[in-house]
């Protein structure tokens, strides 16, 4: 065993072996993998081995597509078989809601280029004659579904890595991982110490324990999962072709052919978290005791759905653990707070996602950034607030809802409320309906007095419709108040703060007392943030951006801070809170609660001032995401309730009304303002999204991403964001629906909704630049129906900005 290496991968399951292979594929041969037992120990060896491309997140679907295409390449490289069976798969819908979900997914697949099809019950019967179609509304067919040999595939990854120079050491137990001052690591094992430039935690069932060696917590939990394999079934054995995969969400089960019988697995509601307080180091190639009582109802449902199962004997029962993160997606990337320490954990669908995870992480390690947007799987999407007490109920909930209908407006209840602001009890008393962002309770809307504070999950317009309309109109006609805790907020200070920001941010860095908007770019020129930069004084800046991206952004800042620079960056997201007020009466309301001059001449659009509001010290900046005349007022959390009472008492005769995030999302559509991870994400560039108007092309600093942004500027973007009016009925655009022009898919939606101000259904999306003309006629597929849409190039509200700036 060598004693130094560029990368030390800990864990020899399918994910660890994929990471190792992809490091060699991208050119690094001085890499090694340590496995405390044999390859495939833990979860890999007993996996059902199914794979599919379908995923609600388009980047995850692309990652899964890459994984599936990779298997034939591995076979060619190694001469080993992965045991591939491309049989296709059918997801059944036994309710209109579930069928709506499948139709919404199919609309996404059109622009993604996936050849999925909506099936009628009779078409399902033709393809899968053993399925009882009683109660089935329809289904979705994916020709890329299949299964493979888990052990053979893992060993193929390992052999391909070895062939390219990687070293794999089995029966090597990692005892410690100790950082050195230069950012490298000493990996202490029972066979000696290895000095590694990078460490990858691909520990699978033991990823929590491996992370604890480095002093960090990874939010994941093993769940006990059970599937059965039947004896031979004549109807299967005598079939001319292999039986397709069947996903039966109503029965919490999946089914595929296994030899001459069937394999059936379950995501049952009475599920079991396993080894909650830590995975035993001695566990590896064992199975758990059978627990048929957990799956009795699911088995009965499966027998009714596929009647031949009733007479089939059970050949074997596989009951073993595998790991989940709280949202079901992997935990991948550089772990915040550590240098050169990487996660490749909680990959519960290892044979659908393992190849893509390996490629993503290898690109990240070698090139500094992966080729595609990784936010859905980035380990930084969970902050330091995440605890085992939060992880356990969220993972259980995710497992139980694995096959449930997922609604675009749904707010799941587990582990809530957890993080709250000073206003939570006051808002509850006002019949607030809450959602959550980054673990924080956030008001979605205020339900009418006497109505249950609950928004019914739906693919169509919900019971929140009228309440949200009233909140929107209060902003547009009088003045609204909205809590602004849910912004990520950073304090950047020091004599060199301005120079550092000029390199980190692509936009103009404002002078004292002013605010500017700026994109933040990767070296590739793609977006990694859209920021509001406020200069409180020379050498003292406040940055605001997405609340859910705060650890993601802080990690980027810390990676680009040079020691001795004199620049300090602090995450103050939960130390600065307050409210925004917006609407035609907003200035009058502010005037009533401060002695400062807030006239249009003294307090201009994009100004920032320190003021006393009531008795509270505040930072006030004149701008609003509503696109209206508005102000953001930041105070310490201890002063938030005082600020609320001061503003609400002063605004009683001005028509002041609180509004939530549902109204905010409607209001921003009026101005075509983008939203993080919808219009603005690492999938897109400034020129595509229109954020290039905030780039300071004249500044002398060589800001990150400048070269790529200038190259795109010189040739122009291939596509751009634009806004459509949609002739919708009772359902609006959510995201990723295909945009059809002249009978062809030419673009896709990034978000949409209903503009209560304009009384129109609105969609924002990308179309080819040359297609963008006022009045362009298009169609957008919503829940399987083609809806006429018209492109509009001007904002619906305040098109010249007179009220916002006046």
Domain closes at, from 571, 591, 611: 571
pLDDT tens for 216-241 read 999 999 999 999 999 999 999 999 99
Q: Is residue 455 part of a domain?
A: no
Q: How many CB atoms lie within 10 A of CB 536?
A: 17
Mean pLDDT of 639-658: 98
pLDDT at 58: 81
Pairing of strands 744-755, 738-741: antiparallel
Three-state secondary structure call for residue 89: strand
What share of the chain has pLDDT > 90, as a percent? 91
CATH number for the domain harbouring residue 511: 3.30.70.1400
Q: Do residue 514 and residue 627 come from a single domain?
A: no
Three-state secondary structure call for residue 277: coil
Q: Do residue 603 and residue 492 come from a single domain?
A: no
142-176 b/e with 16+ CB inside 10 Å = b? bebbbbbbbbbbbbbbbbbbbebebbbbeebebee
Q: Is residue 152 part of a domain?
A: yes
pLDDT tens for 261-315 read 999 999 999 999 999 999 999 998 899 998 888 898 899 999 999 999 999 999 9
What pLDDT band is residue 129 in, cutting at 50, 70 and 90? very high
pLDDT over 90 (residue 115): no
pLDDT over 90 (residue 716): yes
Q: Give me 304's structure tokens.
A: 């009714």
Q: Is residue 480 part of a domain?
A: no
Helix (H) or strand (E) holding 779: strand 777-782
Domain count, the chain: 4
Q: Do residue 546 and residue 611 come from a single domain?
A: no
Q: Do residue 29 and residue 64 come from a single domain?
A: yes
pLDDT at 292: 84
CATH number for the domain harbouring residue 162: 3.50.50.60
Q: Do residue 339 and residue 201 come from a single domain?
A: yes
Rounded to the nearest 10°, the torsion over CA 626, 631, 633, 634 is 60
Between 629 and 144, the higher pLDDT residue: 629
pLDDT at 543: 98
Q: How many CB atoms lie within 10 A of CB 759?
A: 9
CB 187 within 8 Å of CB 196: yes
Q: Do residue 508 and residue 557 come from a single domain?
A: yes
Q: Is residue 225 part of a domain?
A: no
pLDDT at 339: 97
Q: What is the pTM of this model?
A: 0.95
Mean pLDDT of 625-654: 98
pLDDT at 557: 97
pLDDT tens for 165-176 read 999 999 999 999
Rg (CA), the chain: 27
Class of residue 698 by CB neighbours under 10 A (exposed 0-12, middle 13-18, buried 19+):
exposed
Q: Give me 489's structure tokens.
A: 């907020």
What pLDDT band is residue 750 in, cutting at 50, 70 and 90? very high
pLDDT tens for 94-105 read 999 999 999 988
Mean pLDDT of 328-342: 97
d(CA 780, CA 686): 25
pLDDT over 80 (residue 56): no
pLDDT tens for 343-361 read 999 999 999 999 999 999 9
Q: What is the mean pLDDT of the chain?
A: 95
Q: Is residue 407 part of a domain?
A: no
pLDDT at 53: 78
pLDDT at 534: 98
Q: Do residue 530 and residue 589 come from a single domain?
A: no
d(CA 602, CA 548): 34
pLDDT over 80 (residue 54): no
What pLDDT band is residue 584 in, cutting at 50, 70 and 90? very high
CB 168 within 8 Å of CB 24: no
pLDDT at 665: 97
Q: Is residue 285 part of a domain?
A: no
pLDDT at 754: 98
Q: Is residue 725 part of a domain?
A: yes
Scan for tokens 């979705």, then name that residue. 140
CATH number for the domain harbouring residue 624: 3.30.1360.120
Instruction: Report the residue count for the chain.
Output: 806
Domain closes at, from 340, 356, 380: 380
Cis omega (within 30 of 0) on the bond before 274?
A: no
Q: Do residue 785 and residue 657 come from a single domain?
A: no
- Residue numbers of the domain that contains 172: 1-83+147-219+325-380
pLDDT over 90 (residue 113): no
pLDDT tens for 392-416 read 999 999 999 998 889 999 999 999 9
CB 455 within 8 Å of CB 468: no
pLDDT at 722: 96
Closest CA relative to residue 276, chosen from 350, 215, 221: 221
Q: Do residue 629 and residue 527 come from a single domain?
A: no
pLDDT over 90 (residue 62): no
CB 15 within 8 Å of CB 208: no
Q: Is residue 56 part of a domain?
A: yes
pLDDT over 90 (residue 57): no
Pairing of strands 432-437, 174-179: unpaired
Q: Which of the 8 DSSP states describes residue 799?
A: T
Q: Do residue 731 and residue 789 come from a single domain?
A: yes
Q: Do residue 27 and residue 2 come from a single domain?
A: yes
Closest CA relative to residue 18, chosen from 481, 428, 419, 330: 330
Mean pLDDT of 77-93: 95
pLDDT tens for 522-545 read 999 999 999 999 999 999 999 999
Q: Give me 178's structure tokens.
A: 């100790």
Closest CA relative to residue 78, chosen from 174, 164, 133, 156: 156
CATH number for the domain harbouring residue 784: 2.40.30.110
pLDDT at 276: 96
pLDDT at 307: 95
pLDDT at 24: 98
d(CA 687, CA 519): 11
Domain closes at, from 364, 380, 396: 380
Q: Do residue 492 and residue 597 come from a single domain?
A: no
């Amino acid at each position: 065993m060598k004693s130094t290496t560029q990368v030390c991968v800990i864990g020899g399951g399918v994910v660890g072996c994929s990471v190792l292979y992809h490091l060699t594929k991208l050119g690094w041969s001085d890499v090694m993998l340590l496995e405390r037992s044999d390859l495939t120990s833990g979860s890999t060896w007993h996996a059902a081995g199914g794979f599919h491309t379908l995923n609600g997140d388009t980047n995850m679907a692309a990652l899964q597509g890459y994984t599936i295409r990779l298997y034939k390449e591995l076979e060619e490289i190694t001469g080993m078989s992965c045991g591939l069976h491309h049989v296709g798969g059918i997801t059944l819908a036994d309710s209109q809601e579930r069928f709506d979900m499948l139709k919404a997914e199919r609309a996404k697949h059109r622009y993604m280029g996936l050849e999925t099809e909506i099936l009628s019950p009779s078409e399902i019967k033709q393809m899968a004659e053993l399925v009882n179609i009683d109660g089935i509304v329809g289904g979705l067919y994916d020709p890329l579904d299949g299964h493979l040999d888990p052990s053979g595939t893992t060993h193929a990854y390992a052999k391909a890595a070895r062939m390219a120079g990687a070293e794999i050491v089995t029966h090597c137990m990692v005892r410690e991982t100790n950082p050195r001052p230069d950012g490298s690591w000493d990996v202490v094992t029972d066979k000696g110490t290895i000095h590694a430039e990078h460490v990858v935690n691909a520990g699978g069932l033991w990823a929590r324990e491996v992370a604890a060696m480095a002093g960090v917590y990874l939010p994941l939990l093993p769940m006990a999962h059970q599937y059965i394999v039947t004896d031979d079934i004549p109807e299967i054995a005598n079939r001319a072709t292999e039986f397709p995969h069947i996903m039966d969400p109503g029965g919490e089960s999946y089914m595929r052919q296994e030899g001459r019988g069937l394999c059936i697995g379950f995501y049952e509601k009475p599920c079991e978290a396993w080894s909650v307080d830590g995975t035993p180091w001695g566990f590896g190639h064992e199975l758990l005791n059978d627990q048929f009582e957990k799956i009795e109802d699911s088995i009965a449902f499966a027998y009714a759905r596929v009647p031949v199962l009733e007479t089939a004997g059970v050949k074997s029962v596989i009951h073993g653990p595998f790991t989940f993160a709280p949202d079901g997606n992997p935990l991948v990337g550089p772990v915040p707070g550590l240098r050169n320490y990487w996660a490749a954990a909680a990959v519960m669908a290892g044979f659908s996602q393992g190849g893509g995870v390996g490629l993503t992480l290898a690109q990240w390690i070698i090139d500094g950034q992966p080729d595609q947007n990784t936010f859905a799987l980035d380990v930084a999407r969970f902050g330091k607030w995440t605890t085992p007490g939060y992880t356990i109920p969220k993972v259980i909930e995710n497992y139980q809802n694995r096959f449930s209908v997922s609604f675009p407006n749904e707010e799941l209840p587990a582990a809530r409320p957890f993080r709250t602001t000073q206003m939570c009890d006051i808002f509850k008393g006002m019949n607030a309906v809450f959602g959550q962002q980054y673990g924080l309770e956030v008001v979605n809307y205020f339900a009418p007095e006497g109505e249950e504070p609950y928004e019914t999950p739906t693919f169509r317009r919900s019971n929140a419709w009228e309440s949200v309309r009233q909140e929107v109109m209060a902003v547009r006609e009088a003045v609204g108040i909205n809590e602004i805790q849910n912004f990520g907020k950073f304090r950047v200070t020091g004599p060199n703060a301005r120079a550092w920001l000029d390199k980190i941010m692509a936009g103009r860095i404002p002078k004292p007392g002013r605010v500017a908007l700026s994109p933040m770019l990767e070296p590739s020129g793609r977006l990694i943030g859209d920021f509001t930069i406020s200069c409180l004084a020379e050498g003292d800046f406040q940055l605001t951006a997405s609340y859910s991206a705060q650890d993601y952004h802080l990690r980027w800042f810390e990676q680009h801070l040079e020691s001795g620079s004199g620049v300090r960056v602090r995450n103050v997201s939960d130390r600065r809170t307050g409210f925004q007020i917006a609407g035609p009466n907003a200035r009058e309301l502010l005037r009533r609660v401060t002695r400062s001059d807030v006239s249009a001449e003294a307090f201009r659009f994009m100004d920032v001032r320190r003021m006393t509001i009531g008795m509270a010290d505040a930072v006030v900046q004149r701008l609003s995401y509503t696109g209206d005349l508005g102000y953001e007022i930041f105070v310490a959390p201890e002063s938030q309730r005082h600020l609320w009472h001061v503003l609400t008492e002063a605004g009683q005769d001005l028509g002041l009304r609180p509004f939530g995030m549902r109204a905010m999302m409607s209001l921003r559509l009026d101005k075509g303002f983008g939203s993080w991870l919808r219009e603005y994400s690492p999938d897109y560039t400034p020129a595509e999204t229109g954020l290039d108007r905030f780039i300071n092309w004249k500044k002398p600093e060589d800001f990150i991403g400048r070269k790529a942004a200038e190259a795109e500027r010189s040739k122009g973007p291939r596509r751009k964001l634009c806004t459509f009016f949609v002739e919708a009925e009772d359902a609006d655009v959510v995201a990723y629906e295909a945009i059809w022009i002249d009978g062809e898919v030419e673009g896709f939606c990034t978000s949409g909704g209903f503009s209560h101000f304009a009384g129109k259904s609105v969609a924002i999306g990308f179309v080819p630049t040359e297609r963008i003309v006022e009045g362009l006629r298009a169609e957008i597929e919503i829940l399987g129906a083609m809806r006429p849409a018209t492109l509009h190039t001007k904002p619906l509200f305040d098109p010249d900005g007179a009220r916002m700036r006046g």
